[in-house]
């Protein structure tokens, strides 16, 4: 009925002069002033349509004032305030402002990138879902004489709403011209959209799961913190029942009438978690938010959260920004996962911002992991009086008394014969599992058939023309692909250097392991799980489901396989090519390798059958593997923290990385060096490293350089970046792209 979703308030047009200051999706760190007759401070947080240059765009009103630094003649007027979408709340706006300030990113781009795409569009159709309406306070206080002057349809609609909120269908039933009446009443400010009445919760009468003493203690601590800000680090070995702990905490929050936000690292984990939540909380309305959702469901989920229809929001990092007026608990599962950090545009960490959001909402934040990030771990071992302290909640045992930790064994690749990268010991173990009818998992964090094609005569290897990287050989469709920029080409018939036809794949990827295993074990049912095999929507879920039903004997895959999936019949894990991470220059590489190994090992022996993990390495004596073998995270963390302390790396310092890109290496390097020089003059408590080429120097046709800034003090770093950024803005040549990455994950 409301065919025009965008509304104006004509009655206010002549009232006093006011200026709305809007956040717009523009790479400039300021708000934009517009004449906004009739707009009041109550409209802060609302979306509005404005003329901008030659186009019209959607912005968000952040301030309303009556003065502007812009001369009156140059001010343009707001076209429409969108009254059909609820305003963002002051805490939503506070989160955006903090994000903009912390990451030194333009406020308008922060706000607009958080909104669902359907709300950002200047042309928008009506909102999805059934609309509900109610009287506004102004409407309830309306003198009867004012109403008597209105046309009949408006009076009827108004009368119906006096009884309470109503769905649009009931409201307009049998009333001619009701749509028009609705719109006019909204314009007057007498009625407004509202959330449908929420269903109450029937508490599940008996929880299907008996908690251990450790789990009960953890639940009790979170429950006692409901209603105030308190970060927790829920650290438990794999299969210790961490999910069960936060499900109980969620239940307590819901019982208090609060909303819950649950963040997970992988889109692939959301359907599984959605089913789990739906089964446990049948009366709750659960929505998920992630980038693979189509526009309309994503908008509906957003609006459901904002209007209190949704009780639980599950999602990937972008769900962090979902408006939740009654937020009472935040859970960040696998908090150490790098995918919580966005790697383009606004480079925010959803984990870190979730902690800040908990502070704004006065609610507990539960970070969950078997291998916490060293930053979170460090916060959790600080003295109890430290303001940054995260309360540690430890689950030291596997939840099922029968499930024991898997045994770990290193296989020395230099001592054993390997065929196609798989050792004899591992092949023997695979055969035993097949015979027993148990499942095995082979983990290799490299997709494709082989990481390179190699000329047997001159050692030439095809490289990406746009990146400083080799092309990966994909045998299934006979292509060479760049995993950095997506460039692809046919497999060449001969060497590009000496012309020899003798080209052979070098090294193993998932496809090669898959075809070898299929040849080796002809009767085995083999499945590959990587980004290539799970590209189609829902295909990952189907693969995991069939593995769970026991329809697969040997799973081969990348880290997609390592997270969160339970296979009760899986008793063997083989880890191939683990050493690759040890050659990385990145100071976080050991932490990631440890996390990956523990995660993938955690897939084995989750039920009553003991699990075994074989890790193939050429460096069995390496200290990292010693701590992996005992799966002693505390020991690993204390060694790593000591190294970080000595080298002054996080959590003992704060980092920011200036990333520079240009079409020539000379230009990128020159600007990086110049930026470093400019920064050097500002330095107060911040050290700048020399400008250097990025680890992947050329990517997608861009030459890349970087400058690392390091400081012991977060405040000093913030002051430095605030001063440095404008200098870079004024001196950067047009041909240079640059960005400041605060708390970079890879340096
Ligand atoms: Zn490339
Ligand atoms: Zn050659």
Give phi and psi for 722, each to the nearest 5: -60, -35
Report the distance separating Cα 389 and Cα 603, nearest Å.
31
Cα distances (Å, whole numbers) of residue 591 to 317, 334, 396, 594, 596: 21, 14, 20, 5, 9
Q: Which ligand is nearest to the CA of 503?
A: 2
Query: Residue 696 C-alpha to ligand 2 middle, in angstroms?
Result: 25
Is residue 626 a contact partner of residue 633, using CB atoms and an 8 Å limit?
no
Query: Residue 455 C-alpha to ligand 1 middle, in angstroms?
Result: 20
User: Token digits for 75?
Assistant: 């001010």
Of 402-416, 585-599, 648-662, give the range with the top mean pLDDT: 648-662
User: Where would I find the beta strands (DSSP E) of 521-579?
Assistant: 526-529, 554-557, 570-575
Q: Residue 543: which pLDDT band, with cuts at 50, 70 and 90? A: confident
Report the distance separating Cα 495 and Cα 60, nearest Å.
57
Is residue 552 a contact partner of residue 455, using CB atoms and an 8 Å limit?
no
Residue with tokens 């333009």: 106
Query: Residue 641 C-alpha to ligand 1 middle, in angstroms?
Result: 35
Is residue 329 a contact partner of residue 366, using CB atoms and an 8 Å limit?
yes
Query: Residue 423 C-alpha to ligand 2 middle, in angstroms?
Result: 30
> Which pLDDT belongs to residue 16?
63
Q: Which ligand is nearest to the CA of 487?
A: 1
**Averaged confidence pLDDT in the chain:** 89
Query: Residue 478 C-alpha to ligand 2 middle, in angstroms?
Result: 20
> Which pLDDT belongs to residue 83?
84
Say which DSSP state 204 is in.
Answer: P
Query: Residue 142 C-alpha to ligand 2 middle, in angstroms?
Result: 87
Over residues 365-381, the mean pLDDT reads 95
> Which pLDDT belongs to residue 197?
64
Closest CA to 250 of 277, 275, 274: 277
User: Token digits for 515?
Assistant: 């075809």
Inform me whether the pLDDT recorded for 102 exceeds 50. Answer: yes
Inform me whether the pLDDT recorded for 201 exceeds 60. Answer: no
Cα distances (Å, whole numbers) of residue 398 to 295, 395, 602: 41, 8, 10
> Which pLDDT belongs to residue 66?
86
Report the distance separating Cα 448 and Cα 473, nearest Å.
6
Query: Residue 459 C-alpha to ligand 2 middle, in angstroms?
Result: 6
> Which pLDDT belongs to residue 1?
29
Q: Residue 401: which pLDDT band, with cuts at 50, 70 and 90? A: low
Over residues 540-563, the mean pLDDT reads 88
Q: Which ligand is nearest to the CA of 462?
A: 2
Give phi and psi for 32, each to the nearest 5: -120, 135
Inform me whether the pLDDT recorded for 124 exceeds 80. Answer: no
Q: Which ligand is nearest to the CA of 499?
A: 2
Report the distance separating Cα 40 and Cα 404, nearest Å.
63
**Nearby residues of 206 by Cβ (< 8 Å), 6 or more positions away:** none
Over residues 342-370, the mean pLDDT reads 96
Query: Residue 554 C-alpha to ligand 1 middle, in angstroms?
Result: 32
Q: Residue 224: which pLDDT band, with cuts at 50, 70 and 90? A: very high
Query: Residue 469 C-alpha to ligand 2 middle, in angstroms?
Result: 18
Q: Which range has the worst mean pLDDT, 352-361, 462-471, 492-501, 560-569?
A: 560-569
Query: Residue 519 C-alpha to ligand 2 middle, in angstroms?
Result: 30
The more confident residue out of 159 and 726 is 726
Give phi and psi for 481, each to the nearest 5: -130, 145
Query: Residue 563 C-alpha to ligand 1 middle, in angstroms?
Result: 28
Query: Residue 502 C-alpha to ligand 2 middle, in angstroms?
Result: 8
Quick check: helix, strand or coil at residue 23? Answer: strand
Say which DSSP state 470 is in.
Answer: B
Over residues 490-506, the mean pLDDT reads 94
Element housing 465 (H / E): none
Report the distance separating Cα 317 and Cα 563, nearest Å.
16
Q: Which ligand is nearest to the CA of 467?
A: 1
Query: Residue 466 C-alpha to ligand 1 middle, in angstroms?
Result: 5
Query: Residue 741 C-alpha to ligand 2 middle, in angstroms?
Result: 41
Query: Residue 508 C-alpha to ligand 2 middle, in angstroms?
Result: 21
Cα distances (Å, whole numbers) of residue 293 to 223, 301, 321: 32, 10, 16
Query: Residue 597 C-alpha to ligand 1 middle, in angstroms?
Result: 28
> Which pLDDT belongs to residue 207?
56
Query: Residue 664 C-alpha to ligand 2 middle, in angstroms?
Result: 29
Inform me whether the pLDDT recorded for 328 exceeds 80. Answer: yes
Is residue 631 a contact partner of residue 405, using CB atoms and an 8 Å limit?
yes
Quick check: helix, strand or coil at residue 60? Answer: strand
Cα distances (Å, whole numbers) of residue 336 to 46, 60, 111, 593: 35, 33, 26, 12
User: Token digits for 746?
Assistant: 């890879």
Q: List b or e across 137-162, with b for residues whose CB sees 16 or more CB atoms inside 10 angstroms.
A: eebeebeeeeeeebeebbebbbebbe
Q: Which ligand is nearest to the CA of 701?
A: 1
Q: Which ligand is nearest to the CA of 460?
A: 2
Query: Residue 369 C-alpha to ligand 2 middle, in angstroms?
Result: 48
> Which pLDDT belongs to residue 206?
45
Inform me whether the pLDDT recorded for 204 exceeds 70. Answer: no
Give phi and psi for 67, each to the nearest 5: -130, 160
Report the distance separating Cα 255 and Cα 450, nearest Å.
52
Q: Residue 743: which pLDDT band, with cuts at 50, 70 and 90? A: very high
User: Token digits for 153?
Assistant: 């349809």
Query: Residue 615 C-alpha to ligand 2 middle, in angstroms?
Result: 34
Report the distance separating Cα 718 and Cα 686, nearest Å.
10
Inform me whether the pLDDT recorded for 435 exceeds 50. Answer: yes
Query: Residue 576 C-alpha to ligand 2 middle, in angstroms?
Result: 29
Give phi and psi for 422, each to the nearest 5: -110, 130
Inform me whether the pLDDT recorded for 198 exceeds 70. Answer: no
Give the helix, strand, coil percentages of the chain, each rounded to 5.
35, 25, 40
Element housing 489 (H / E): strand 488-490
Is residue 217 a contact partner of residue 205, using CB atoms and an 8 Å limit?
no
User: Where would I find the beta strands (DSSP E) of 152-311?
Assistant: 166-167, 191-194, 230-236, 259-263, 286-289
Report the distance separating Cα 389 and Cα 378, nearest Å.
9
Residue with tokens 């990631």: 592
Beta bridge partners of 61: 22
Query: Residue 490 C-alpha to ligand 1 middle, in angstroms?
Result: 14
Query: Are β-strands 479-481 and 488-490 bridged in parallel, bridged antiparallel, or unpaired?
Result: antiparallel
Query: Residue 699 C-alpha to ligand 1 middle, in angstroms?
Result: 6
> Which pLDDT belongs to residue 103?
97
Is residue 272 a contact partner of residue 290, using CB atoms and an 8 Å limit?
no
Inform me whether the pLDDT recorded for 6 exceeds 50. Answer: no
Inform me whether the pLDDT recorded for 131 exceeds 80. Answer: no
Cα distances (Å, whole numbers) of residue 27 to 30, 53, 228, 350, 541: 9, 14, 36, 21, 38
Q: Residue 163: which pLDDT band, with cuts at 50, 70 and 90? A: confident
Give phi and psi for 470, each to the nearest 5: -80, 155
User: Token digits for 204?
Assistant: 């599940």
Q: Which range has the worst mean pLDDT, 97-111, 134-148, 416-430, 691-705?
A: 134-148
Q: Residue 582: which pLDDT band, with cuts at 50, 70 and 90? A: confident
Per-residue pLDDT of 245-272, as tens digits, reads 999 999 999 999 999 999 999 877 777 7
Beta bridge partners of 57: 50
Per-residue pLDDT of 27-85, as tens digits, reads 888 999 999 988 999 999 999 999 999 999 999 999 999 888 888 888 999 999 988 88
Beta bridge partners of 687: 710
Inform me whether the pLDDT recorded for 10 exceeds 60. Answer: no
Per-residue pLDDT of 618-668, as tens digits, reads 999 888 888 888 888 998 999 999 999 998 999 999 999 999 999 999 999
Query: Residue 46 C-alpha to ligand 1 middle, in angstroms?
Result: 42
Query: Residue 470 C-alpha to ligand 2 middle, in angstroms?
Result: 15
**Within 13 Å, how many C-alpha atoms sit on residue 519's CB side?**
7
Is residue 700 a contact partner of residue 466, using CB atoms and an 8 Å limit?
yes
Q: Which ligand is nearest to the CA of 457?
A: 2
User: Token digits for 380?
Assistant: 């959790």
Query: Residue 700 C-alpha to ligand 1 middle, in angstroms?
Result: 5
**Nearby residues of 695 by Cβ (< 8 Å), 6 or more positions away:** 585, 586, 746
Is residue 282 a contact partner of residue 312, using CB atoms and an 8 Å limit?
no
User: Token digits for 555?
Assistant: 């799973």
User: Where would I find the beta strands (DSSP E) of 623-717?
Assistant: 654-662, 686-688, 692-699, 702-711
Q: Residue 202: which pLDDT band, with cuts at 50, 70 and 90? A: very low
Is residue 721 a contact partner of residue 678, using CB atoms and an 8 Å limit?
no
The more confident residue out of 678 and 5 is 678
Q: List b or e across 211-239, with b for residues whose CB sees 16 or more CB atoms inside 10 angstroms.
A: bbebbeebbebbbebbeebbbbbbbbbbb
CB burial of residue 17 (10 Å; 0-12, 13-18, 19+): exposed
CB burial of residue 62 (10 Å; 0-12, 13-18, 19+): buried
Query: Residue 627 C-alpha to ligand 1 middle, in angstroms?
Result: 36
């Amino acid at each position: 009925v409301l065919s025009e979703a965008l509304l104006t308030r004509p009655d206010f047009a002549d009232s006093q002069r006011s200026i709305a200051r809007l956040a717009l999706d523009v790479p400039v760190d300021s708000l934009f002033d517009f004449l906004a007759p009739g707009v009041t401070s109550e409209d802060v947080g609302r979306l509005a349509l404005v003329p901008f240059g030659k186009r019209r765009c959607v912005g968000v009103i952040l301030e309303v004032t009556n003065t502007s630094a812009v001369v009156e003649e140059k001010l343009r007027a707001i076209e429409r305030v969108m009254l059909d979408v609820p305003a963002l709340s002051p805490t939503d706006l506070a989160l955006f402002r903090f994000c903009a300030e912390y990451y030194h990113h333009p406020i308008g781009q922060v706000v607009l990138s958080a909104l669902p795409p359907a709300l950002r569009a200047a042309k928008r159709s009506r909102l999805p879902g059934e609309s509900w309406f109610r009287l506004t306070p102004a409407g309830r206080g309306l003198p009867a004489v004012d109403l008597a002057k209105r046309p009949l349809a408006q009076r009827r609609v108004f009368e119906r709403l006096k009884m309470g909120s109503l769905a649009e269908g009931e409201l307009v039933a049998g009333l001619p011209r009701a749509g028009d009446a609705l719109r006019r009443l909204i314009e007057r400010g007498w009625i407004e959209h509202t959330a449908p009445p929420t269903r109450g919760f029937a508490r599940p009468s008996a929880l299907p799961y008996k908690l251990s003493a450790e789990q009960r203690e953890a639940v009790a601590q979170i429950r006692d913190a409901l209603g105030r800000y308190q970060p927790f680090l829920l650290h438990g070995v794999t299969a210790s029942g961490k999910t069960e702990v936060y499900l109980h905490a969620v239940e307590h929050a819901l019982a208090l009438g609060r909303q819950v936000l649950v963040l997970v690292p992988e889109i692939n984990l959301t359907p599984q978690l959605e089913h789990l939540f739906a089964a446990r909380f049948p009366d709750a309305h659960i929505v998920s938010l992630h980038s693979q959702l189509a526009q309309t469901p994503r908008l509906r989920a957003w609006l459901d959260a904002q209007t209190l229809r949704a009780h639980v929001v599950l999602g990937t990092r972008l769900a962090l920004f979902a408006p939740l007026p009654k937020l009472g608990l935040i859970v960040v599962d696998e908090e150490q996962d790098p995918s919580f950090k966005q790697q383009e545009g606004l480079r925010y960490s959803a984990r870190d911002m979730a902690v800040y959001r908990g502070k704004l909402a006065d609610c507990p934040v539960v970070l969950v992991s078997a291998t916490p990030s060293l930053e979170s771990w460090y916060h959790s071992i600080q003295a109890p009086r430290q303001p940054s302290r995260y309360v540690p909640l430890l689950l030291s045992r596997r939840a099922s008394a029968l499930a024991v930790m898997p045994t770990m064994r290193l296989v020395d690749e230099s001592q054993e014969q390997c065929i196609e990268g798989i050792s004899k010991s591992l092949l023997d173990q695979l055969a035993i599992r097949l015979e027993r009818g148990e499942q095995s998992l082979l983990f290799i964090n490299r997709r494709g058939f082989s990481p390179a094609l190699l000329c047997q005569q001159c050692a030439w290897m095809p490289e990406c023309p746009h990146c400083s990287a080799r092309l990966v050989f994909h045998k299934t469709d006979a292509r060479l692909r760049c995993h950095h920029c997506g460039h692809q080409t046919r497999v060449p018939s001969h060497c590009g250097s000496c012309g020899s036809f003798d080209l052979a794949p070098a090294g193993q990827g998932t496809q090669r392991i898959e075809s070898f295993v299929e040849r080796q074990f002809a009767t085995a049912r083999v499945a590959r799980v990587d980004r290539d095999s799970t590209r189609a929507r829902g295909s990952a879920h189907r693969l995991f489901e069939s593995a769970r039903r026991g329809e697969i004997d040997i799973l081969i895959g990348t880290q997609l396989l390592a997270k969160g999936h339970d296979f009760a019949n899986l008793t063997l894990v083989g880890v191939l090519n683990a050493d690759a991470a040890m050659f990385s220059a990145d100071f976080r590489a050991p932490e990631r390798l440890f996390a990956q190994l523990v995660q993938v090992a955690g897939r084995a022996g989750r039920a009553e059958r003991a699990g075994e993990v074989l890790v193939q390495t050429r460096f069995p004596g390496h200290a990292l593997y010693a701590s992996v073998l005992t799966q002693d995270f505390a020991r690993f963390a204390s060694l790593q923290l000591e190294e970080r302390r000595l080298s002054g790396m996080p959590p003992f310092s704060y980092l920011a990385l200036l990333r520079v890109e240009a079409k020539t290496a000379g230009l990128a390097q020159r600007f990086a060096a110049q930026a470093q020089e400019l920064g050097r003059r500002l330095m107060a408590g911040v050290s700048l490293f020399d400008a250097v080429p990025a680890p992947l120097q050329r990517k997608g046709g861009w030459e890349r350089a970087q400058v690392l800034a390091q400081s012991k003090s977060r405040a000093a770093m913030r002051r430095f970046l605030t001063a440095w950024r404008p200098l870079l803005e004024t001196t950067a040549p047009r041909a240079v792209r640059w960005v400041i990455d605060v708390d970079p994950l890879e340096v």
